[in-house]
Amino acid sequence: MYRYDEFDHTIVRERVDQFRDQVARRLSGELTEEEFRPLRLMNGLYLQLHAYMLRVAIPYGTLSSKQMRMLAHIARRYDRGYGHFTTRQNIQYNWPNLEDVPDLLADMASVEMHAIQTSGNCIRNVTADPYAGVATDELEDSRIYAEIIRQWSTLHPEFSFLPRKFKIAVSGAPIDRAAVRFHDIGLQMRQNTRGELGFGVLVGGGQGRTPVIAQTIKDFLPKQDLLSYLEAILRVYNMLGRRDNIYKARIKFLVNEIGRDKFAALVEEEWERIRGGALDLHRDEINRIRAYFRPALYELITEQESAYDTARRSDREFDRWCASNILPHKQPGYGIVNISLKPVGKAPGDATADQMDVIAELAELYSFDELRVTHKQNVVLGHVRLADLHSVWQQLDAAMLATANIGLASDIIACPGLDYCNLANARSIPVAQKINERFSDPEQLARIGQIRINISGCINACGHHHVGDIGILGVDRRGEEYYQITLGGDPADNAAIGESIGPSFSYDEIVDAVETVISTFEGVRETGKTFANTWRRVGATPFKENLYGPTRK
Amino acid sequence: MSKKNKQKFETRVMTANMLVGGNVVYLVASGNWDEDIAGARLIENDDELRRLNNVAQEALVKGIIVGPYTIPIAIGSPGPNPLSKREQIRANGPTVPAGFSK
Ligand code: SF4
């Protein structure tokens, strides 16, 4: 894992001191709310429906056990004993007091964490493949480059006041698990004909009220040119992006307005001016960062993991959990463990302080002291020996963390919605809970198979509804909660934006409507096909007919 | 805020968040801010609205509260009931259990 250098430590410490002073001045009346608001937002502190909310950055979702324990401590000491993991691989606390936030941030800083650039029109937390460094198909660990980008973008003076917020995702594998097509910039690692590694560069993707799939502006960018090229993109955007209309300020509108080719040409022009200069990434520098992400010292495992096989054969529940939550690891004898934060009856992505401690402990004992938060709001233990899995599972189970549903119908992405969020139209969490309850039978879940159900409480799309197989969007109809269903979205290689299927449903109708969609799918599916395959084959008609009757178009 | 006298005045209450705790509060009859909407002072005409706006402005300047605004309510048996779902949730807290704890 990356460790702060002196420079990192200093800026984070100075920022805490500065914010402490700002809070004191606000409380003494020296600063008005108008003056203070932008300052608190620069430190990740929002005012939500019921309280302040603090968003803490988890760079590319990776944490050490020590950091996870600190997250637990903060939940206990400054909040109500829990935290909410978000779709941007961050964590949010829903109830801190303004007075306490400087101390909270000082505690965070002691484990190299902060809330800088989690709000505002700057480059936000860089996200990466949650299986970086352990996936079987990977070309290289994407976190190396996410970390290089993090260092370059942190407090970058030129890009602190962009037209709008800016999100970058990096994938180091040919299969996209970082949704690179739905970010302002997506970087997809690939190999050129000479066998060298570099990046395909995509720009202008995003969700929100105007969802757009990113377009490629460069097929192959050599690694050493990564930062100069990113700088060129950001410069063009910073110069030409709209600042007069917040709804048209993201880079996607600029790319759309002037066209991809023109945009790419402008970037190329700027890049020609600055490439080969100070931003060139030398091999030594890449190696220096790579060393932080050096593969764990795996044991060489040659014989069959007979204990693991026996446990799977004899323990049905364990077997089920392995089938849905364990992925193959690049190292024989190891597995990638997905810990579901979506048990029945709980808010997707929430974890109590005690659960965080359990996860930290397991990571320390069984997974080289490292864990990851996924954009699906789950947690990953990157490298667990198959022989240890049964024990890990039992300990997770005792902490209500062994739900076997990764990628299945009850593994729902949901934003905080109207239960917490100031911008919401409708609740997301109870809808997710009701769907989760409806689809809690393991046999049924297995039968339905891989499906993404994503819920956002408003058009800002934090719950990624546009890219759900089934997307659910909360809308407001005269103060009442209604829900719009979209079908056929896909965040990855077959990127697609979900298609709205018809009039919206009330809070009391929405779960039945989702069930109708799923039973329709089961009725028309061919053996072994997923929802996504089936949608592409049959289209909207059968779903519309079953939801609205045969006459409705 | 109806200008025409003919139009019926929609009964409202004044709400805000406390500066320090961020918690939701309502302006009550004593002029204090309280978490319980039951005691919120009803605003039933334009004069009252103006008066309470001034009270809220003062509290804002003094750094007691942030973001004051008024919300339409219906009078229920225990007290004022916000009309919109959003304000009902603000008044009563999240409708879901906090975190994983029961
Ligand atoms: S999608 Fe809307 S309701 Fe949900 S968290 Fe984002 S802004 Fe809030």
SS (H, E, C) A425-483: CCCCHHHHHHHHHHCCCHHHHHHHCCCCEEEECCCCCCCCHHHCCEEEEEEEECCEEEE
Taking an 8 Å cut-off on Cβ atoms, the answer to whether A351 and B98 are in contact is no
Split at pLDDT 50, 70, 90, the class of A4 is: confident
> A48 CB under 6 A from ligand 1?
no
Contact call for residues A371 and A63 (beta carbons, < 8 A) = yes
Q: Residue A74 corresponds to which amino acid? A: I
> A459 CB under 6 A from ligand 1?
no
What one-character DSSP code corresponds to residue A182? G
Residue B101 lies in a domain: no
Angle between helices A510-524 and A429-438 (to 10 degrees): 40
User: Is residue B5 pLDDT above 80, yes or no?
Assistant: no
Instruction: Please state the rounded mean pLDDT for residues A354-378.
Output: 97
Question: In terms of CA atoms, which chain B residue is nearest residue A341?
Answer: B100
> Which residues 6+ apart lie within 8 Å of A448 measured at CB?
A408, A409, A439, A518, A521, A522, A531
> A457 CB under 6 A from ligand 1?
yes
Superfamily in which the A413-552 domain is placed by CATH: Sulfite Reductase Hemoprotein, domain 1 (3.30.413.10)
User: Is residue A402 pLDDT above 70, yes or no?
Assistant: yes
Residue B29 lies in a domain: yes
Query: What's the confidence (pLDDT) of residue A304?
Result: 65
Query: What's the confidence (pLDDT) of residue A552?
Result: 47
Contact call for residues A544 and A502 (beta carbons, < 8 A) = yes
Q: How far apart are CA A36 and CA A24, in angstroms?
A: 11
Query: What's the confidence (pLDDT) of residue B6?
Result: 54
Q: How far is B72 from chain A (nearest CA, A)?
A: 11
Residue B75 lies in a domain: yes
Domain of B51, in residue numbers? 9-92
Instruction: Convert the pLDDT of each residue in B51-79 to its tens digit.
Output: 999 999 999 999 999 999 999 999 987 78
Atom of ligand 1 nearest to the CA of A416: 5
SS3 B83: coil
Tell whether B78 lies on the interface with A, counting CB pairs under 8 A: no
Q: How far apart are CA A13 and CA A19, in angstroms?
A: 10
Q: How far apart are CA B102 and CA B90, in angstroms?
A: 21
Taking an 8 Å cut-off on Cβ atoms, the answer to whether B67 and A47 are in contact is yes
Taking an 8 Å cut-off on Cβ atoms, the answer to whether A49 and B100 are in contact is no
Q: Nearest 5°: phi and psi at B72?
A: -70, 140
Q: What share of chain B is helix, strand, coil (3-state, %, to 5)?
A: 25, 30, 45
User: Quick one: what percent of chain A has pLDDT higher than 70?
Assistant: 99
Task: Report which secondary-structure segment, H or E, holds B87.
Answer: helix B85-92
Q: How far apart are CA A435 and CA A73, in angstroms?
A: 32
Which among A27, A98, A352 is the nearest to B101, CB-wise?
A352
- Tell me what ipTM this predicted complex has: 0.90
Handedness of CA A312, A315, A320, A326 (dihedral sign): negative
What one-character DSSP code corresponds to residue B5? S
Superfamily in which the A134-292 domain is placed by CATH: Sulfite Reductase Hemoprotein, domain 1 (3.30.413.10)
Q: How far apart are CA A85 and CA A65, in angstroms?
A: 16
Residue B51 lies in a domain: yes
Q: Among A22, A28, A50, A507, which would you mutate to test the B interface (most chain B Cβ atoms within 10 Å of its Cβ)?
A: A50
The B residues from 12 to 31 touching A (CB cutoff 8 Å) are: 17, 19-24
> A431 CB under 6 A from ligand 1?
no
Instruction: Please state the rounded mean pLDDT for residues A146-172.
Output: 95
Distance from Cα A353 to the centre of ligand 1, integer Å: 24
Counting one residue from chain A and one from chain B, the pairs whose CB atoms sit within 8 A come to 94
Distance from Cα A462 to the centre of ligand 1, integer Å: 5
Distance from Cα A425 to the centre of ligand 1, integer Å: 8
Which among B84, B98, B100 is the nearest to A400, CB-wise?
B100
Name residue B34's beta-bridge partners. B26
Q: Residue A195 corresponds to which amino acid? A: G
Query: What's the confidence (pLDDT) of residue A305?
Result: 65
Instruction: Convert the pLDDT of each residue in A316-349 to its tens digit.
Output: 999 999 999 999 999 999 999 999 999 998 999 9
Cα–chain center distance at A306: 36
Report domain extents, chain A.
6-109, 134-292, 307-398, 413-552
Instruction: Convert the pLDDT of each residue in A278-299 to its tens digit.
Output: 999 999 999 999 999 988 889 8
Q: How far apart are CA A355 and CA A293, in angstroms?
A: 26
Distance from Cα B66 to the centre of ligand 1, integer Å: 21
SS3 A188: strand
Closest among B53, B16, B70, B25 to A33, alpha carbons compared: B16
Tell whether A508 lies on the interface with B, counting CB pairs under 8 A: no
Q: Which residues on chain A are in Cβ contact (under 8 Å) with B10?
A: none
Q: How far is A508 from chain B (nearest CA, A)?
A: 14
Residue B41 lies in a domain: yes
Query: What's the confidence (pLDDT) of residue B2?
Result: 44
Split at pLDDT 50, 70, 90, the class of A551 is: low
Atom of ligand 1 nearest to the CA of A456: 1
Taking an 8 Å cut-off on Cβ atoms, the answer to whether A81 and B23 are in contact is no
Instruction: Convert the pLDDT of each residue in A454-473 to its tens digit.
Output: 999 999 999 999 999 999 99
Question: In terms of CA atoms, which chain A residue is nearest residue B60?
Answer: A33
Tell whether A26 lies on the interface with B, counting CB pairs under 8 A: yes
Tell whether B83 lies on the interface with A, counting CB pairs under 8 A: yes
Residue nearest to atom 6 of ligand 1 (CA): A462
Q: How far apart are CA A65 and CA A365, in angstroms?
A: 10
What phi-psi label fits residue A380: left (phi over 0), alpha (psi between -120 and 50 degrees) or beta? beta
- Taking the CA atoms of residue A63, residue A64, residue A70 and residue A74 in that order, the dihedral angle to the nearest 10 degrees is 10
Taking an 8 Å cut-off on Cβ atoms, the answer to whether A479 and B86 are in contact is yes
Q: Which residues on chain A are in Cβ contact (under 8 Å) with B67?
A: 33, 47
Task: In chain B, count H helices and then E strands.
Answer: 2, 5
What one-character DSSP code corresponds to residue B9? P
To test the ligand 1 pocket, which listed residue (A462, A473, A481) has its Cβ within 8 A of the most ligand atoms?
Answer: A462
Q: Exposed e or buried b for every residue in A122-136, given b needs 16+ CB within 10 A?
A: bbbbbbbbbbbbbbe
Contact call for residues A247 and A209 (beta carbons, < 8 A) = yes
**In the numeric block, which tokens belong to residue A401?**
């963390």
* Residue in the structure block whose two tokens are 């300020």: A249
Contact call for residues A174 and A182 (beta carbons, < 8 A) = no
Q: Residue A383 corresponds to which amino acid? A: H
Q: Chain-wide mean pLDDT for chain A?
A: 95
Q: How far is B71 from chain A (nearest CA, A)?
A: 12
Instruction: Convert the pLDDT of each residue in A373-398 to its tens digit.
Output: 999 999 999 999 999 999 999 999 99
Contact call for residues A137 and A175 (beta carbons, < 8 A) = yes
Query: What's the confidence (pLDDT) of residue A553?
Result: 46
Q: Which residues on chain A are in Cβ contact (under 8 Å) with B23?
A: 50-51
Q: How far apart are CA A455 and CA A521, in angstroms?
A: 19
Tell whether B6 lies on the interface with A, counting CB pairs under 8 A: no
Contact call for residues A534 and A522 (beta carbons, < 8 A) = no
Q: Which fold has domain A6-109?
A: Sulfite Reductase Hemoprotein; domain 2 (3.90.480)
Taking an 8 Å cut-off on Cβ atoms, the answer to whether A347 and B83 are in contact is no
Distance from Cα A421 to the centre of ligand 1, integer Å: 6
Tell whether A433 lies on the interface with B, counting CB pairs under 8 A: yes
Q: How far is B65 from chain A (nearest CA, A)?
A: 10
Which among A99, A345, A352 is the nearest to B20, CB-wise?
A99
Residue nearest to atom 2 of ligand 1 (CA): A458
Q: Residue A316 corresponds to which amino acid? A: R
Instruction: Please state the rounded mean pLDDT for residues A209-224.
Output: 97
Query: What's the confidence (pLDDT) of residue A291?
Result: 94
Taking an 8 Å cut-off on Cβ atoms, the answer to whether A29 and B86 are in contact is no
> A455 CB under 6 A from ligand 1?
no
The domain total for chain B is 1
Q: Which CATH number fits domain A307-398: 3.40.50.300, 3.10.310.30, 3.90.480.20, 3.40.50.360?
A: 3.90.480.20
Name residue A198's beta-bridge partners. A190, A222
Instruction: Confirm whether pTM is higher than 0.80.
Output: yes
Say whether A413-552 and A307-398 share the same fold: no
Taking an 8 Å cut-off on Cβ atoms, the answer to whether B85 and A352 are in contact is no
Q: How far apart are CA A69 and CA A55, in angstroms?
A: 17
